[in-house]
Amino acid sequence: MKTGLTSAPRFASKEHSDASLRPRLVLTYACPCDAGAAGISLVLQPDAAGSDTYLDDGNPGTNWGAATDMRISNKSNSQKRGLLKFDLSGIPAAALVTSATLELNLEGIGSGDTASIALHRVTRDWHPAQTNWNVALNTSNWTSPGGDIDPTAITSAVIDPLTPGATQWDITALVGDWVAGNQNNYGLMLKGSPGVNHADFSTSNHATAALRPKLTIRYHCPCGAQCTVPETPSCSALFIPDSVAGEFSTAGKSYRYNTGITPVPEGMPFNGKTVPSGGGWIAVGGSGRLVLLSRSGQMLDDTFTTGLSGLEGVAYVPSGELAGKLVVVKGSQIYLIDPTILPPGSSYKHMSVDFASDLRGASYIDGGHFDGHIALVDKAAHRLFIIAQNFTLVQSRDLSVMPGAPASYSGGVEGIAHLPDTDLFLLTDVTLGYAHLYSAQGFWQRGYEVINKFGISKPTSAAIDPQTCAHVLGSHPDDRYKLLTSTNADDGTRQSILAPAGDTFILSVNQTHNMGSDTGLQVEVENKGHRRAALLRFDLGTLPADAKVHSAKLRLHAHNRVGNQNWNLQVHRIKESWTENGATWLSRDGSQNWSGGPGGSYAPTVVASLPVAGTGWYEFDVTALVQEWLDGVSPNNGVQIIADAPQKNGLEFSSREAPMHHSWLLSMASDTLLWRPSGACPGPCPASPAAAGVVPLLREEV
Query: pLDDT for 528-567, tens place per residue?
Result: 899 999 999 998 876 666 777 878 888 898 999 999 999 9
pLDDT band at 476 (very low <50, low <70, confident <90, very high): confident
Q: How many CA atoms lie within 13 A of 6 on its CB side?
A: 0
- What pLDDT is recorded for position 411? 63
CATH level 3 topology of 244-485: Neuraminidase (2.120.10)
Residue 678 predicted with pLDDT over 70: no
Whether residue 121 contacts residue 188, with contact meaning beta carbons closer than 8 Å, is answered with: yes
**Residues 214-243, mean pLDDT to the nearest whole number:** 75
- First CA to last CA distance, the chain: 88
Which residues lie closer than 8 Å to 16 by C-beta, 6 or more apart? 22
Neighbours of 452 (CB within 10 A): 9
The answer to whether 40-220 and 496-696 have equal CATH topology is yes
Q: How far apart are CA 551 and CA 668, in angstroms?
A: 8
Residue 484 predicted with pLDDT over 90: yes
User: 261 in helix, strand or coil?
Assistant: strand
The residue with greater pLDDT, 439 or 607, is 607
Residue 188 predicted with pLDDT over 90: yes
C-alpha dihedral sign at 538, 543, 546, 551: negative
3-state class percentages of the chain: helix first, strand second, coil last, to nearest 5: 5, 40, 55
- What pLDDT is recorded for position 672? 30
Q: How far apart are CA 50 and CA 66, in angstroms?
A: 10
User: 442 in helix, strand or coil?
Assistant: coil
DSSP string, 84-107: EE---TTS-TT-EEEEEEEEEEEE
List phi, psi (to 5°) of 177.
-65, -40
Whether residue 241 contacts residue 448, with contact meaning beta carbons closer than 8 Å, is answered with: yes
- Of 141, 104, 124, the C-alpha closest to 187 is 124
User: 485 in helix, strand or coil?
Assistant: strand
Q: How far is CA 529 from the centre of its chain?
A: 55
Whether residue 330 contacts residue 378, with contact meaning beta carbons closer than 8 Å, is answered with: no
- What pLDDT is recorded for position 608? 96
Distances (CA, A) of 343 to 257, 264, 567: 20, 20, 72
Q: How far apart are CA 143 and CA 136, in angstroms?
A: 9
Which residues lie closer than 8 Å to 284 by C-beta, 6 or more apart? 257, 259, 260, 261, 290, 291, 311, 312, 313, 314, 328, 461
The DSSP secondary-structure symbol of 471 reads E
The DSSP secondary-structure symbol of 648 reads T
Choices 1.10.3470, 2.40.50, 2.40.160, 2.60.120: CATH for 496-696: 2.60.120
Neighbours of 388 (CB within 10 A): 15
- Of 176, 254, 280, 268, the C-alpha closest to 219 is 176
Q: How far apart are CA 49 and CA 274, in angstroms?
A: 12
Whether residue 430 contacts residue 412, with contact meaning beta carbons closer than 8 Å, is answered with: yes
Q: What is the pTM of this model?
A: 0.52
- What pLDDT is recorded for position 341? 78
Q: How far is CA 357 from the centre of its chain?
A: 29
Burial 287-301 (b: 16+ CB within 10 A, else e): ebbbbbbbbbbbbbb
Whether residue 261 contacts residue 250, with contact meaning beta carbons closer than 8 Å, is answered with: no
pLDDT band at 289 (very low <50, low <70, confident <90, very high): confident
Residue ranges covered by each domain of the chain: 40-220, 244-485, 496-696
Kindly state the helix (H) or strand (E) to which residue 625 belongs, with its residue range: helix 623-631
Which residues are registered as beta bridge partners of 425? 418, 438
pLDDT band at 402 (very low <50, low <70, confident <90, very high): low
C-alpha dihedral sign at 111, 113, 118, 119: positive
pLDDT band at 525 (very low <50, low <70, confident <90, very high): very high
- Of 563, 568, 572, 565, the C-alpha closest to 526 is 563
- What pLDDT is recorded for position 226? 58
Residue 583 predicted with pLDDT over 90: yes
Kindly state the helix (H) or strand (E) to which residue 34 belongs, with its residue range: none
Mean of per-residue pLDDT scores for the chain = 84
Q: How far apart are CA 581 and CA 588, in angstroms?
A: 10
Residue 673 predicted with pLDDT over 60: no
Whether residue 107 contacts residue 69, with contact meaning beta carbons closer than 8 Å, is answered with: yes
Parallel/antiparallel/unpaired status of strands 568-574 and 664-666 = unpaired
Which residues are registered as beta bridge partners of 44? 215
- What pLDDT is recorded for position 658? 82
The residue with greater pLDDT, 175 or 675, is 175
Neighbours of 190 (CB within 10 A): 25
Which CATH class name applies to 40-220?
Answer: mainly beta
**pLDDT tens-digit readout, 444-457:** 877 899 999 999 98
Q: How far apart are CA 36 and CA 119, in angstroms?
A: 31
DSSP string, 157-187: EEE-TTS-EEEEEE-HHHHHHHHHTSS----
Lowest mean pLDDT, pick from 37-51, 62-76, 104-118: 37-51
- What pLDDT is recorded for position 664? 66
- What pLDDT is recorded for position 689? 31
Burial 472-497 (b: 16+ CB within 10 A, else e): bbbbbebebbbbbbbeeebebbbbbb
**Residues 110-129, mean pLDDT to the nearest whole number:** 91
